[in-house]
Structure 1
Amino acid sequence: MSRIRTALLCTAALIAATLQAAGTSTAAVREPPLTPCVSSPGPARGEARQILDIARQAQKDLGLQAVVLRVTRDGKEVVTGALGESMTGVPATADMHLRSGSVAIAYMGDVLLQLVDEHKAGLDDPVSRWLPDLPHGDEITLRMLAASTSGLHDYVTDPKFVAALEAAPFRQWTPEELVAYSLGHPLRYKPGTNWSYSHANFVLLGAALEKITGTRLDRLLQQRIMGPLGLRDTRNFFTPEITPPVLHAFTSERAPYEESTFWNPSWTTAPGAVQITHICDMARSAVAIGSGELLSPGSYRLSLDPGTVGLGKPTAQCPATVCLTMTPAHHFGIGLIVQNGWILQNPSFSGYAAIMAYLPSERLAIAVSTTLGPDAAEGNTAQTTAYRIADALSPGHPLEK
């Protein structure tokens, strides 16, 4: 099995394996507009020093090229910092842009719930209403796409897709090409009866949101998410471009350790939601998504408990590594993960790894991004680093499973 296939499988499994449920909700935390994203002035003291010490140890233990982080409590900065190098001789800085992957999936979930509140769509509307040519579109609903209960196969587990991606990492993928890999397999189960993560769900959700609103997805997310939240450094690109300054990425997915910064991310989610950001915007997003800032109280509650609890039972078509059982302490929400009281997203692909996590009961937000050194193991090392930070700041609420 190729390293890139292993990495993709691990990423899909990681999304499942890190799910845990939140048992509390609080009023939204509204933050003032962001100041420029810079490291906290030193020397660090108290919690700030503790967090940076944890990050330095994680960098050493995990063989990381760079660690960039921001922690806030009650909407106020605890610490912002950057360790290591972006590339040889270039120090990592807090304002460097990185690929944010599945963070945009949480944005799409919020937009869907906003549209439901506005009576422009219903969660249980069949997808065929907007995507009439989709096989099984009469059976699959918007809720099933957003909560990943559609039964669609995940194309990143298809060996033919992985081989094509490995052979041409700069290739521009279309939504039709990606979904075709998923549709080349039978459904894993009858839609709505089980849970399994599939990237295809969110490619299709993005297309459906465009049809519902008549607005291109990148503009829709800007109007409804990034604009209202003041995320000035979060934006979509339809090419592999990243706005300078850039946090460079490296990976051993294809066996040699190589730079992967500008590998084409068009396969990762819906076009219009293939975004870059920096660590301050990511921490801001953790607070906004985790507190339901852009949602009605009812939609916020629904975002955390869309009915996936009890699903995920392994079957012949859906093994335990794919259909991980959802529990009250471990489940998937509407475009987000709910884990031990934390609300999060944890992207990891092509040498980039990150996590944004929010603990409503303590109004605590943790955002971490990491890049890999030549001896680092593939996987979400940002999540591992955040686990250690959460253990120190909130020992009664571990972030890890």
Structure 2
Amino acid sequence: MRSARSPFRSRAVAVTALAALLALGAPVTAVGGSTGDGHDRRPCDASRLPDRGPARDVLRIAEQAKAEMDLESVILRVTVDRREVVTTALGESMTGVPAAPAMHFRNGNIAISYLGTALLRLVDQGRVGLDDPVARWLPDLKDGKRITLRMLAASTTGLVDYVTTPGFGETVSANPFRQWTARELVAISTGRQRWYEPGTNWSYSHANFVLLGAALEKITGTRLDVLLKRQVLGPLGLRETRNSFTPDIPEPVLHAFTADRGTYEESTFWNPSWTTAPGAVQTTDICDLARSAVGIGSGELLSPSSYQELLNPGTVGLGHETRTCPATVCLANTEATHYGMGLLVLGDWVAQHPLFFGYSASQAYLPSERLAIAVSTTNGPTATDGHSAHVITQRIAAALAPNHPIPDFG
């Protein structure tokens, strides 16, 4: 696959998005977050909304989406050049309990982008190479000599996704409080015939990231949650983003609800242990999510060469019509829309959008405008299973950066 069109081209003549937004009346005070490196962060509070301008436009988008999609809550934050445009929360966490920006929610596969960044930081430190075979650290992995760290991070190993295997969803639904181990999850994937030979195609597989987490622990001799805190969360100042080895969520909690099992019920404390590597099962708040969009999307912690690898590690398979994996998980896309190392490159945006257990979230960053959008939603009784946070993010992007639409992926 040829290198993707760079989403970071500069414009010859342009007024910065920050200047344009400020001219239209956007707030200039970074209420609820740091204006700098994230280490002096203030409480994550709602901003004061002006009568007009981008902040008011974003609020209208959120209000309309909440009603249209029957969402219990919508929490969002938008920044330009790390300065707040708007931070707000709509709806309720529980009956009679208003949603608030400081509430914590599960961030799902957003943590996978931290795995990719942590791996590349180790590359920058000269501790590993992306094309090192994982058998060096995971000797029991079948075909580990042919699977590289790059393949794990870019999801090109050919390993079956245990989440999509027959019966897995029903098993989780039957007992959503079950604690899954990494060994159990990987065994489901490795116990089935590989979709394709390692490195010859692309398909999303949760097993890749469970294995990447295990490899990172072996490489560093450090437990994954500690490693991510040292390499990513700490340097970015993500003080409200943390792992838990239990289903617990720190207070204040954004409660979630789902009708996945046929009746509308609370799913806040259903066990997310199956979602990714132990040590990377995290919760966060909306201010950290916006800061994460900037830090990861700009490659702030990486060398220029590693940043380019993060965005385009040479992912194969995307754009090929001939597939050897199921079409539902092996996607054909344009060069500008592809999978990087634990994240999505959606046109000009760097993004990720998890969805599970009644929670939906989205983080998106537009490097050319230094525009970050973070959204979290929870479902109402008749909500569909769509990526509601991602849809809201797309609508906000269309309003604030109309020349840079966010395309769909999958």
- Same-fold call, TM > 0.5? yes
Q: Are positions 1:195 and 2:202 aligned together? A: yes
Give the SS at the match of 2:145.
Answer: coil
Structure 1 window deviating more from structure 2 (302-311 vs 182-191): it is: 302-311
For 1:297, the equivalent position in structure 2 comes to 304
Q: Which shifted more, 119-128 or 318-327?
A: 318-327
Equivalence for 1:84? 91
Question: Structure 2 CA distance, aligned partners of 1:325 and 1:144?
Answer: 18
Q: Deviations 1:194-246 (Å, cap 9, x if unpaired)? A: 00000000000000000000000000011111111111100000000000100
In 1: Cα distance, 2:208 partner to 2:316 partner: 18
1:377 aligned residue (358, 372, 384): 384
Separation in 1, partners of 2:310, 2:211: 19
- Contact 1:313–1:320 under 8 Å retained in 2: no
State whether structure 2 residue 7 is matched by structure 1 residue 23: yes
Q: How does 1:1-400 map to 2 (within 5 A)?
A: 23-24=7-8, 31-32=37-38, 33-43=40-50, 45-308=52-315, 310-311=317-318, 313=320, 317-400=324-407
- The alignment's TM-score, normalised by the length of structure 1, stands at 0.92
Please name the residue that 2:30 is paired with.
Answer: none
* Aligned-pair Cα RMSD in Å: 1.6
Give the Cα separation in 2 of the matches to 1:244 and 1:188: 42
Amino acid at match of 1:194: N
SS at match of 2:167: helix
Deviates more, 1:126-135 or 1:33-42: 33-42
Cα distance between partner residues in 1 of 2:271 and 2:322: 34
User: Compared with structure 1, are the counterparts of its residues 30 and 61 closer, same or farther at alpha carbon in structure 2 (3 Å cutoff)?
Assistant: same
- Deviation of the 1:289 alpha carbon: 0.4
CA contact (8 A) 1:140 1:191 kept: yes
Any idea what SS the aligned residue of 2:301 has?
A: coil
Aligned-partner Cα distance in 2 for 1:373–1:289: 31
More helix by share: 1
The one-letter amino acid paired with 1:190 is E
User: Which residue of structure 1 aligns with residue 31 of structure 2?
Assistant: none
Distance 1:325 1:253, change over 3 A: same
**For the residues of structure 2 that align with 1:393 and 1:122, how far apart are their CA atoms?**
39
CA contact 2:200–2:317 (8 Å) conserved in 1: no
Partners of 1:356 and 1:74 in 2: how far apart?
15
State the alpha-carbon separation in 2 of the partners of residues 395 and 46 from structure 1: 15
Structure 1 residue 151, shift from structure 2 partner: 0.3
SS of 1:361's equivalent in the other structure is coil
Compared with structure 1, are the counterparts of its residues 241 and 25 closer, same or farther at alpha carbon in structure 2 (3 Å cutoff)? farther
* Kept in 2: contact 1:309–1:328 (CA 8 A): no
2:17 alignment counterpart: none
Supply the distance in 1 between the matched residues of 2:357 and 2:6 (Cα, whole angstroms): 30
State the shift of 1:314 in Å: 5.4
Cα offset, 1:275, TM superposition = 0.3
Please say which of residues 323-332 and 283-292 is displaced more in the overlay.
Answer: 323-332
Distance 2:199 2:332 in 1: 14
Q: Mean Cα displacement is larger for which, 300-309 or 186-195? A: 300-309
| Residues 169 and 310 of structure 1: CA distance in aligned 2, closer, same or farther (over 3 Å) | closer
Alpha-carbon displacement from aligned partner over 1:111-135 (angstroms, at most 9, x marks no partner): 1001111111110111111000011
| Conserved? CA contact 1:308–1:332, under 8 Å | yes
Equivalents in 1 of 2:218, 2:325: separation in Å?
Answer: 31
What is the distance in 1 between the residues matched to 2:247 and 2:52?
A: 39
Structure 1 residue 107, shift from structure 2 partner: 0.5
Q: Which amino acid aligns with 1:77?
A: E
Which letter maps to 1:364? L
User: Take 1:42 and 1:340, find their aligned partners in 2: how far apart are those partners?
Assistant: 30
Q: CA deviation at 1:310?
A: 5.0
Q: CA deviation at 1:160?
A: 2.5
1:88 partner amino acid: T
Instruction: Give the paired residue count.
Output: 380
Q: Distance in 1 between matches of 2:55 and 2:7?
A: 28
Consecutive unaligned residues of structure 1, counting only runs of 5 or more, are 1-19
- Does the 8 Å contact 2:162/2:168 carry over to 1? yes
Bigger Cα displacement from structure 2, 303-312 vs 241-250: 303-312
Of the structure 1 ranges 31-40 and 339-348, higher mean CA displacement relative to structure 2 is found in 31-40
CA contact (8 A) 1:72 1:365 kept: yes
Shift of residue 23, structure 1, vs aligned partner? 2.2
Task: Indicate the structure whose relative CO is greater, using CA pairs within 8 Å and at least 6 residues apart.
Answer: 1
The question of whether the paired residues in 1 share the 8 Å contact of 2:44 and 2:102 is answered with: yes
